[in-house]
């Protein structure tokens, strides 16, 4: 590799790092006759429109439950979720002879049974009165499938009349718990759904008859507790973000302890057997949006929308061929094409339009956006991919400038140019999707490990649309070429 070539690359890299919004007259300031490097800038108009998300891959450690109305758009969103439960490692009940409550046949009996839906955050009014129904599934939902947010277990996994059902009227602030307890550091707010104690008795009795059922999650789910579906049945105003579900069986049993004098004594204690429902097992969220309002928003061509969960994405058409093949007149008076140039950077800035409604019940602002080829909008999530900054990129919301900036999608432009199937109408289109991201930090260095659909209540308008009232969107491109 020649010294001149290395010097040129270093100058190009310096240019990329130092460039900001202003790119006029940069080339001449960074090159000289020795480098023989031309740096050129250009801008191109891009077009955008809103598209209906319809449904998204439901892969989240959080379950969503409730019904709310976006105060700005008027769109209603209803969320239900399904979860399975698993047996903790080395799980066991006490020896049968120590169980206190027995039926006439001598079988162990539970004192009570419930499901707790623990939430760490929520949207809306914590005092809004809500109603849900908890349905036990009639059979397990098998893993290995891809579940989208329109998946409804009621169709194939719930048998009306024969399926266990429990109703619950609740507020997220549980007024049955005293205020001092609710404010305690060890209190975790939850929705408590009481089940018939016979259901808890069934679980205990299965343990003593067939302990192998509790060997692992698979045997537990397929032989005893296939899972539950929690459906919003009434009320509006709150959406709970469920971080942990737990099936609890309460029972009393005798235990023996040794006193200080060495003698032994029996005492009766109340215990709880807990079966968690977390990311260890299958969990899906069913999202229902107000289709009429969503269509109205999508048809608004004065701007575009980003709305979650499973609401609206923004589609962008990139002038790929024009960016790569545009001709220009060189300093020598000859005509050249950018096809032979290097695209150093290609930057797109998306300006957010402020909400018309404010207050504590306004939907949140999407914090992270993903841009990727429209052809990949499903496979990206189904294959557990993360942004590679080659064909997929992330942009974080900047509250100071009220923008999202994709700093360098040059490789995405080149990818579409080289591999785009021009027989298809969407070959040069990309989609902008609200996402949740997870990082793992090692030695103070964050590493992106997960990108999933944002399922929280968020909404914003962006400058764009075919009849934009707020200006155009442009892509700024920087080229370089060695003479």
pLDDT by residue for the chain (483 residues), tens only, comes to 444 444 444 444 444 444 444 444 444 444 454 466 788 999 999 999 999 998 999 877 889 999 999 998 999 999 999 999 999 888 999 999 999 999 999 999 999 999 999 999 999 999 999 999 999 999 999 888 899 999 999 989 998 887 899 999 999 999 999 999 999 989 999 999 999 999 999 999 999 999 999 999 999 999 999 999 999 999 999 999 999 999 999 999 998 877 777 787 889 999 999 999 976 678 899 999 999 999 999 999 999 999 999 999 999 999 999 999 999 888 888 898 999 899 999 999 999 999 888 778 899 999 999 999 999 999 999 999 999 999 999 999 999 999 999 999 999 999 999 998 999 999 999 999 999 999 999 999 999 999 999 999 999 999 999 999 999 999 999 999 887
For residue 397, the tally of other CB atoms under 10 A from its CB is 18
Burial category of 450 from C-beta neighbours within 10 Å (exposed 0-12, middle 13-18, buried 19 and up)? middle
Longest CA–CA separation in the chain, Å: 106
- Rounded distance between C-alpha atoms, residue 359 and residue 39, angstroms: 48
Condensed to tens digits (0 to 9), the pLDDT of residues 282-295 reads 889 999 999 999 99
CB 466 within 8 A of CB 49: yes
From the list 438, 416, 418, the residue with the least C-alpha distance to 427 is 416
Please give the structure tokens belonging to residue 294. Answer: 């969503």
Please give the structure tokens belonging to residue 213. Answer: 């059922």
The confidence score (pLDDT) of residue 142 equals 87
453 pairs with which residues across the strands?
Answer: 435
- Rounded distance between C-alpha atoms, residue 414 and residue 409, angstroms: 9
178 pairs with which residues across the strands?
Answer: none
The confidence score (pLDDT) of residue 154 equals 92
Specify the pTM: 0.86
The confidence score (pLDDT) of residue 32 equals 52
For residue 98, the tally of other CB atoms under 10 A from its CB is 15
The confidence score (pLDDT) of residue 280 equals 66
Condensed to tens digits (0 to 9), the pLDDT of residues 95-134 reads 999 999 999 999 999 999 999 999 999 999 999 999 999 9
For residue 50, the tally of other CB atoms under 10 A from its CB is 25
The confidence score (pLDDT) of residue 163 equals 82
Please report the sign of the dihedral spanned by the C-alpha atoms of residue 71, residue 72, residue 76, residue 80: negative
The kind and range of the H/E element at 222 are helix 217-223
The confidence score (pLDDT) of residue 35 equals 60
C-alpha R_g of the chain: 29
CB 70 within 8 A of CB 459: yes
Domain residue ranges in the chain: 3-53+290-482, 76-289
Enter the DSSP assignment of 65: E
Distances, alpha carbon 449 to alpha carbons 51, 212, 386, 437, in Å: 28, 36, 7, 8
């Amino acid at each position: 590799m020649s010294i001149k070539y290395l010097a040129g690359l270093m100058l190009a890299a310096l240019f990329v790092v130092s460039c900001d919004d202003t790119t006029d007259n940069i080339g001449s300031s960074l090159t000289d006759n020795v480098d023989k490097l031309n740096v050129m800038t250009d801008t191109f108009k891009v077009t955008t429109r809103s598209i209906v998300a319809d449904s998204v891959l439901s892969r989240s450690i959080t379950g969503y439950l409730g019904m709310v109305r976006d105060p700005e758009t008027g769109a209603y969103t209803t969320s239900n979720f399904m979860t399975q439960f698993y047996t903790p490692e080395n799980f066991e009940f006490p020896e049968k002879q120590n169980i206190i409550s027995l039926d006439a046949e001598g079988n162990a009996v539970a004192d009570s049974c419930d499901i707790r839906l623990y939430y760490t955050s929520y949207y809306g009014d914590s005092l809004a009165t809500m109603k849900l129904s908890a349905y036990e599934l009639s059979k397990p939902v098998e893993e290995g499938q891809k579940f989208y947010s329109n998946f409804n277990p009621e169709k194939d996994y719930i048998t009306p009349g024969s399926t266990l059902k429990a109703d619950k009227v609740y507020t997220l602030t549980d007024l049955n718990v005293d205020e001092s307890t609710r404010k305690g550091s060890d209190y975790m707010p939850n929705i408590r759904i009481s089940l018939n104690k016979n259901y808890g008795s069934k679980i205990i009795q299965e343990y003593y008859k067939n302990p192998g059922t509790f060997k692992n999650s698979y045997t537990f789910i397929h032989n005893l507790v296939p899972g539950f579906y929690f459906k919003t049945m009434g009320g509006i105003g709150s959406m709970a973000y469920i971080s942990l579900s737990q099936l609890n069986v309460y029972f009393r049993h005798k235990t023996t302890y040794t006193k200080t004098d060495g003698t032994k004594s029996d005492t009766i204690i109340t215990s709880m057997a807990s079966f968690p429902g977390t990311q260890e097992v299958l969990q899906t969220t069913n999202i229902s949006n107000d289709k009429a309002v969503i269509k109205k928003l999508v048809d608004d061509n004065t701007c575009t929308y980003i709305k979650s969960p499973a609401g609206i994405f923004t589609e962008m058409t990139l002038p790929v061929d024009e960016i790569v093949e545009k001709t220009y007149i060189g300093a020598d008076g000859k005509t050249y094409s950018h096809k032979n140039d290097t695209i150093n950077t290609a930057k797109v800035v998306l300006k957010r339009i402020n909400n018309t409604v404010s207050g504590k019940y306004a939907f949140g602002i999407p914090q992270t956006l993903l841009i990727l080829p429209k052809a990949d909008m499903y496979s990206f999530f189904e294959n557990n991919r993360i942004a590679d900054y080659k064909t997929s990129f992330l942009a974080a919301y900047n509250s100071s400038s009220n923008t999202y900036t994709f700093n360098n999608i040059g490789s995405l432009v080149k990818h579409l140019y080289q591999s785009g199937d021009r027989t298809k109408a969407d070959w040069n289109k990309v989609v902008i999707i609200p996402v949740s991201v997870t990082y793992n930090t090692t030695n103070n260095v964050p590493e992106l490990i997960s990108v999933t659909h944002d399922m929280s209540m968020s909404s914003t308008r962006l400058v764009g649309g075919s009849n934009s009232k707020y200006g155009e969107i442009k892509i700024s491109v920087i080229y370089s070429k060695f003479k």
